[in-house]
Amino acid sequence: MDYLPLFLDIRGRWCAVVGGDATAARKAELLLRAGARVRVIAPVLEPSMRALADDEKVSHLASAVHHSAFDPGLLEGCCLVVVALADADDARAVATAADARGLLVNAVDRPELCRFVMPAIVDRSPVVVAISTAGAAPVLGRFLRARLEALLPARLGALAALAGSLRPRVAEALDPASRRRFWEDVLQGPIAEQFLSGDETTARARILARLDATHGGAAGEIYLVAAPAHGDPERATLRAVRLLQQADLVLHDADLPAAVLDLVRRDAHREPVTTADGVAERLAESARAGRRVAWLGDCRWTADDTAARTLLAVEREGAAVLRA
């Protein structure tokens, strides 16, 4: 591991950005989003950075950044420094001065001068995912970020914020073991699906109702996940992937390719079946035992099918039945 992954609290702390071009402005905006106070050190500001200074979002020190004239005292009081300078000698001189003062240093596009790197970020605050390639392949980092942006629901941050607001109440009501099971049920089950789909009011009410019940045995859940067309995992929906990642047991068509089965959570038990006969009964049995169970295969059951009637019966008993 080339770098130690950390999340820094820089709210209200001074951070320096050395440079005044568009790249420096983007770094300054990122620091501002994290709550930092930003000091920009540059003789001239390009329009994007000038706009930040004119709006008094950053403090501008119109000082030389040439390696023979840079004043290290300008970094006094800062906790980290971002160097965004085109000239290699200038960048090295500033980075060396910051490093000598024990400051965290990032030099844009110069990993050999960095004490920390700026990762690609997926922001679902308070959930934040950072991806780093240790400066070796920034484009790959951006590619991975795009994949994660598509995978993580837009309302994930709101769900995390709701959980945070309820933590004291849950801690008071439940013992540690029950607390863990409660959060697993809420954050991975149908309540979370309801919240992420936009019905936040009802989802919150269901969370509070479940907490007030404080019963030990959680109702089971059944996930009906249609196999992706042509056995191509790229055709699986995001909802299907989420449900397969939640299941403890997955019954699946024995003919599905390994690439599709890789969508299933690694520690889940997988059981191939050669015919769909009896699958609904197995699903119902597992749900009544409090398990999260999925069927990955052909889900085209009509209301008149015995399978559909079996699932309706177990749903009436309190188990959730979700489709993807």
Q: Say if residues 218 and 185 touch (Cβ distance below 8 Å).
A: yes
Residues 6+ apart with CB under 8 A from 299: 224, 225, 226, 323
At residue 209, the pLDDT reads 85
DSSP 19: -
One-letter identity of residue 42 = A
Residue 104: its H or E element: strand 104-107
Q: Say if residues 81 and 18 touch (Cβ distance below 8 Å).
A: yes
At residue 303, the pLDDT reads 55
Residue given tokens 């089971």 in the structure block: 220
- pTM of the predicted protein model: 0.66
At residue 177, the pLDDT reads 64
Among 281, 248, 287, smallest CA distance to 266 is for 248
At residue 217, the pLDDT reads 53
At residue 309, the pLDDT reads 83
At residue 164, the pLDDT reads 92
- Superfamily classification of domain 14-118: NAD(P)-binding Rossmann-like Domain (3.40.50.720)
* Domain 120-152, CATH class in plain words: alpha beta
Q: Which residues on neighbouring strands pair with residue 182, listed in sequence order?
A: none
Q: Say if residues 204 and 159 touch (Cβ distance below 8 Å).
A: no
What is the mean pLDDT of each successive set of 10 residues along the chain, which is 324 residues long? 90 97 96 97 96 96 92 96 96 96 95 91 93 86 90 91 91 79 80 88 88 65 90 89 88 93 91 87 87 86 72 81 84
In CATH, which of 3.40.50.360, 3.10.20.440, 3.40.190.10, 3.40.1010.10 is domain 219-324? 3.40.1010.10
Q: Say if residues 258 and 233 touch (Cβ distance below 8 Å).
A: no
